[in-house]
Every structure is written in structure tokens, then in C-alpha cells.
A = this chain, B = another copy of it.
Amino acid sequence: MVLRVYLAGPEVFLPDPMAHATAQKRICAALGLVGVSPLDTFADEPAAWMDLPESRRIARRNEAHIRSSQAILANISPFRGPSADSGTVYEIGFGRALGLPVFAYTAALDDYAARVRALAGGNEICDADGLSIEDFNLAENLMIACAICESGGTVTRLGGASWGSLEAFERCAASAAAALLA
């Protein structure tokens, strides 16, 4: 059985994203998984897509990639703020609605609430706009953290990893392989 796993995360914004995707795919292959990258294109892309703006072609490709996958591996490290990359979070929600298990990895050892409180200057209750700070001892907003849990996935936390590091990804992929190939 071929187990396709979609590689969600802001690694697509790295200086050499193709090289990184290739390395991620190699790690997947060694574990018996087929890594599907957001950078992958289709040899037979529909002709109608050619006239679309590049952004919509990318979006259609990525949604098709998720629909053709059996699980999602997602980098939920805080990205330009206390939360994960919004594109990645979108893809987690998309996959979850399709029933896919979500396996996440993050460089943050602290919880979402702690990160928001740090941003709010230590205020425990609410942020600078007066909006309350959700605190459920979870790695992310509860919708994302619970989706991972409810789907049978895991969160791999590995502090200090840089965006180009593959160590947390490798542990996450191993966790996915153990669950999916059991």
C-alpha cells in the first residue's frame, strides 16, 4: 500500500525550498511513506488552469495534493507571531475535514497561551486589544491542537530547531509511520 503524506509548512519559503522538499521526501521514503510537497506540479495539469493567476494554480494544486494523501505532516512552529503559518493551518483544517490524521512538529516548547502572554507583556488574562487569552495547555489554538489529537496524530516538540532543520520533521515522520503502518 502506498501511503502518501502531504508536507505542510512554511519550509516552502526557505531560500532553497526544492532542496528541502527533496530531503523531506528522502526521509519519508526511508520510513515507507511517500512525501507529497506543495511544490510538486502535475504533468497533466488541466488546460483551464493555465489562464489562472499563479496563486490560484498553487492553491488548486495543494488542495489536490491533500485530497490524494492519506495524512498530513505539518510544521506548526510559531511563524511571524505566536501562531503557526496561516497557510499551514488552513491545510490542517482542510485535511481534517477529509478525515486525514495530522502529525505536527514545532520548535516551540512552550504552549500557545505562554507565547501570547509574552506578546501581551505578561498580561495573564487578555492581550493588548482586550481579547481574552485562550489557555488550555495546548501547543496551538484549540481547534488545531484538538484536531491533531482527535485525528490520532501527534505533536513533536523539539526546541531550538531552525526552519531549515530536518530533525523535528524526521521525528514527526517516524511517529506518523509508526501509526500509519502499524
Contact = CB atoms under 8 A, between A and B. Distances in A.
- State the copy count for this chain: 2
Interface residues on chain A, size class: 35 or more
Contacts of A163: 129-131
Interface stretch (A23-31, A78-86, A152-160): A78-86
**Per DSSP, are chain A's interface residues mostly helix, strand or loop, or mixed?**
helix
Interface in A41-98: 53-56, 58-60, 62-63, 66, 80-87, 89-98
A104 interface: no
A134 B13 CA distance: 8
Interface stretch (A138-146, A165-173, A174-182): A138-146
B56 A149 contact: yes
A7 interface: no
A101 interface: no
A132 B171 CA distance: 26
19 contacts: A14-B130, A14-B132, A15-B130, A55-B142, A56-B149, A58-B146, A59-B147, A59-B150, A80-B83, A80-B119, A83-B83, A86-B141, A87-B144, A90-B90, A93-B95, A93-B97, A94-B96, A95-B97, A97-B97
Q: Which 8 residue pairs are nearest across A and B when measured between Cβ atoms?
A: A81-B81, A93-B93, A59-B146, A97-B97, A13-B131, A90-B93, A55-B136, A93-B94
